Amino acid sequence: MKLIGLSGALAGSKTANALKDKVTGVVTLGGSDKHFLVGEHQLKPILTFLKAVVPVGNVFVHNDLFDENNNISNEDYYRRMHKLADEMIFLQNALANR
């Protein structure tokens, strides 16, 4: 049996251009601050391989930010989400005007 990684599985398929010129945003959540690294070191390389346009910023949400109703009342979280959304809109407009 031959085992290959995700990028190896995608390399020979038609999915290699699946996200070409599509602006993507990375929002991750997790139970420890180290989960932030998943977006940076796992998701961004895969999105780049699929030729997606990946903003510089991303948003990590710690599980502790959710209240008992699964709502988030942290203002910094909303500021970071708006900043990511603004960056994504800027990139999409730049792609549309080229």
pLDDT-derived band at 3, boundaries 50, 70, 90: very low
33 vs 85, more confident: 85
pLDDT of residue 89: 97
For 47, the token pair is 């999105």
* DSSP secondary structure letter of residue 71: -
- The domain ranges of the chain are 25-96
- How far is the C-alpha of 2 from the C-alpha of 13, rounded, in Å? 17
- How far is the C-alpha of 85 from the C-alpha of 91, rounded, in Å? 10
What pLDDT digit, counting tens, does each position of 34-80 carry? 888 888 888 898 889 889 999 998 999 999 999 999 999 889 999 99
pLDDT of residue 54: 95
pTM above threshold 0.85: no
Element (H, E) at 28: strand 27-30
pLDDT of residue 16: 74
In this prediction, residues 80-87 reach a mean pLDDT of 96
Maximum separation of any 2 CA atoms in the chain, in Å: 50
88 vs 57, more confident: 88
